[in-house]
Structure 1
């Protein structure tokens, strides 16, 4: 019930039209995406979004817990969940994106390509008076693209089709995004079809996941495309050429998805010829992509890697250092080193736990290694946004159920509340406390969650306790 209501609330945000949650789109009103255009009150739509997130997170937690004890709960038919999730994704593709203004950047980057400019050296501010670039919101108007060449190619295609219409450009991007989400859903459903419990869990973690429908589909983030490639690559890892090409495509969309490649690499470590073939294909795809767009595409990514998002626990560390030592430095170098150490700690704890779960100790398969590394990255990185968590859910659907599911659900729920909404324009001043006060407080929750994750993984990986022998009866 809660999951269904959450999805309906997410759809309602788009149906209502431009608001504090939904950026306005220029172009002929008869073109998709469509909405009622009623200009709802900012307080109303943000309350609807908060309700969608809370109901979605709690409903998902309850469903995953019920799945652990199927004998005491009536579980839904996974086929119905898959159908409902795919239908919701299709509906959302015809509604204006909500939650952030990232899709406006995508449209502007594609526009630059069609006009002969490099999106890696220019920002929307460099196209004054352009009907597409002028829609990009602060503070991103000066920022060049941080996305890979495959993402840029999709954005350029959408711009070529949409022309001067922002609405049509966004609609093309939304169709591609929804298609990637649905394709991932069908791949996961096919992979788990022989096990009803795993099939239901995969549907909950991905296809009918209200938090992912809110962030990835309604939010129309390019991460969806990278996730589709990485999930397909793990399922195709028996074919090194195909898996390598898919891994390369994923990295050429968003570079941080490259952590997934370490999973197949670990699995093939004793088969160097197949590993070399897979790695060679992946590297070739990435090199060709970046050769086409030019080396200037690397610069924006390196700058972003040094950033610290406002809901990250590392923002608390940065603030503490500035209070104690001084405000003359952002301490980004020290925080980068600290985050790498934390990533190693979390990854070690998770992989140690995962190894103990395997029938043969230490024989981790590619999806499990990828899950451990990706979850460690999401909990340790200084720059984290809610939609980044989507890749962890796609990977979790490939492995067996565990308490780790619950940690990731809570992580995404808290992050989604922290970025409510993930934009500056259109939010009234009296709601500034959402970003100024609530977001830093939720960073403390994420810090506590990270500590809890490490403690749980350490204890779960420990040796099983043997029951104490009862005292021998007297003769």
Structure 2
């Protein structure tokens, strides 16, 4: 298959994937999309509601087409860049270092020269997203409920939705298994949820639409920040803007992780010029989801390598900026912010390889609690190993700036965490994807794409209600018995790729002609 044919096939697959995702988004309530009641002044749904089997097929097709389409575009761009680099390299094919430099230079030149859409198509997609209702989970009803409780003077970290008056039209809409669960989100997330509740009032659809607006703005902000950070537009749009997996999971799913990821990226970009301001925005990211503190660690590593003389001053400014927002937000939220987080840390999701390990251990003579302890320890060790492997694979791919290095370490740390964590969901990957476009092309692109595609397929249709028994058995079978092995294959692929990269780096170079 030639590059031009491959490029057209990739573009067609991506376009069809977007169409299927938007179709599910505008459809009526179904197994992937909870009903939100009267629409009020927010957009409504089509009268057509696909069956559980049909919506599952549509979403599986969308995510598989999207993953395949993005992969084709990445491979096409890589081969085009390699061909151009080979042309510029002349007859010095034996000079490995020169070939590598030429490949990267060719890739960057190809991306800079490409004529990709500006803001017209991203804005049209944003409008399209705002005409849909969220799907893929019922998390947005949880957000609305926690915001409703906070806006009415309650404590969402202490009061579960089912403990609120049953007559409330927002809190009563929360679905199993979250009705009796208090909030796990940070205080800034709660503040935004309360803001959406205040604007939306007692109407669930209006409240959710306000939340969707915040998510869509964050998605557009990421694109703007990446371009400001110097990432090539073609790469930004391939990996972020026109990536159906990111769009379907993050934007159309309306997950809080996208807001936190946008704040984390903003912190990295701002910190290059003003560490205090970067700390302030980073504090908002941590106060949205605590795991997004990875951005702060990435900044420290970057400054240690690039700003050694001013390291202490920058760290102090970063910490002070973070404290300015973190402390007041947590005082406002109260002492129970981390209660649910502590309880959730021992969970093991069905689609991870750790579930197979846990079931094998707990199915024998070992107690379930002991098995969970072993899985927790094993996941920490594996995460450290993955940090080392990903650091090897991304060496030389980041721009030689503090911002570029910070973006690289965001990818390394967040990808290692999501790959190794016992409890991991597809939207947890978004932090890695907001920083990935800053890096030059590499095998990490395809590794993370493989993981995201597998996890997206695993959590279709996404709700625990509204399915027929046949669809439930099929989708749970894929989640429990197929996807864990796909993720395990990604683990193996990562290990093999990093080992080969190390071998190439340590191999003696032939003498220059």
Using the size of structure 1 for normalisation, the TM-score is 0.92
Q: 2: CA distance between counterparts of 1:88 and 1:359?
A: 30
Contact map agreement 2:40 2:203 (CA 8 A) in 1: no
From the superposition, tell whether residues 338 and 81 of structure 1 become closer, same or farther in structure 2 (CA, over 3 Å): farther
Q: 2: CA distance between counterparts of 1:19 and 1:397?
A: 34
Matched, 1:458 2:499: yes
From the superposition, tell whether residues 47 and 363 of structure 1 become closer, same or farther in structure 2 (CA, over 3 Å): closer
Aligned with residue 57 of structure 1, among 54, 64, 67: 67
Contact map agreement 2:407 2:438 (CA 8 A) in 1: yes
Q: Secondary structure at the match of 1:97?
A: coil
Contact map agreement 2:399 2:405 (CA 8 A) in 1: no
Q: Secondary structure at the match of 1:23?
A: coil
Aligned with residue 176 of structure 2, among 138, 147, 154: 138
Post-superposition shift, 1:50? 0.8
Contact map agreement 1:316 1:443 (CA 8 A) in 2: yes
Matched, 1:230 2:264: yes
Q: Secondary structure at the match of 2:394?
A: helix
The one-character-per-residue Cα deviations of 1:56-80 (angstroms, maximum 9, x if unpaired) are: 0000000111111236799995541
Counterparts of 1:209-358 in structure 2, within 5 Å, are: 209-238=243-272, 239-269=274-304, 270=308, 271-329=311-369, 331-355=371-395
Residue of structure 2 in register with 1:445 after alignment? 486
What is the RMSD of the two structures over their aligned residues, measured on CA atoms? 2.3
Aligned with residue 230 of structure 2, among 184, 192, 195: 192
Q: 2: CA distance between counterparts of 1:303 and 1:87?
A: 41
Q: 2: CA distance between counterparts of 1:222 and 1:144?
A: 16
Q: 2: CA distance between counterparts of 1:219 and 1:318?
A: 29
Q: Secondary structure at the match of 2:440?
A: coil
Using the size of structure 2 for normalisation, the TM-score is 0.86
Counterparts of 1:408-447 in structure 2, within 5 Å, are: 408-440=448-480, 441-447=482-488
Q: How many pairs does the alignment contain?
A: 463
Q: 2: CA distance between counterparts of 1:92 and 1:287?
A: 34
Q: 2: CA distance between counterparts of 1:57 and 1:179?
A: 24
Q: 2: CA distance between counterparts of 1:141 and 1:359?
A: 46
Moved more, 166-175 or 29-38: 29-38
From the superposition, tell whether residues 337 and 243 of structure 1 become closer, same or farther in structure 2 (CA, over 3 Å): same
Residue of structure 2 in register with 1:24 after alignment? 35
Q: 1: CA distance between counterparts of 2:440 and 2:128?
A: 31
Post-superposition shift, 1:464? 4.9
Residue of structure 2 in register with 1:9 after alignment? 20
Residue of structure 2 in register with 1:156 after alignment? 194
Moved more, 344-353 or 306-315: 344-353
Moved more, 208-217 or 427-436: 427-436
Contact map agreement 2:20 2:62 (CA 8 A) in 1: yes
From the superposition, tell whether residues 363 and 286 of structure 1 become closer, same or farther in structure 2 (CA, over 3 Å): closer
Q: Secondary structure at the match of 1:346?
A: helix
Post-superposition shift, 1:287? 2.0
Matched, 1:102 2:139: yes
Contact map agreement 2:280 2:322 (CA 8 A) in 1: yes
Task: List structure 1 segments (4+ residues) > 6 angstroms apart after TM superposition.
Answer: 71-76
Aligned with residue 434 of structure 2, among 394, 401, 409: 394
From the superposition, tell whether residues 161 and 363 of structure 1 become closer, same or farther in structure 2 (CA, over 3 Å): closer
From the superposition, tell whether residues 226 and 203 of structure 1 become closer, same or farther in structure 2 (CA, over 3 Å): same
From the superposition, tell whether residues 189 and 86 of structure 1 become closer, same or farther in structure 2 (CA, over 3 Å): farther
Q: 2: CA distance between counterparts of 1:363 and 1:159?
A: 36
From the superposition, tell whether residues 343 and 93 of structure 1 become closer, same or farther in structure 2 (CA, over 3 Å): same
Residue of structure 2 in register with 1:473 after alignment? none
From the superposition, tell whether residues 294 and 373 of structure 1 become closer, same or farther in structure 2 (CA, over 3 Å): same
Aligned with residue 53 of structure 2, among 43, 46, 54: 43
Matched, 1:112 2:149: yes
Post-superposition shift, 1:272? 1.1
Matched, 1:207 2:241: yes
Q: 2: CA distance between counterparts of 1:123 and 1:144?
A: 5
Q: 1: CA distance between counterparts of 2:399 and 2:245?
A: 33
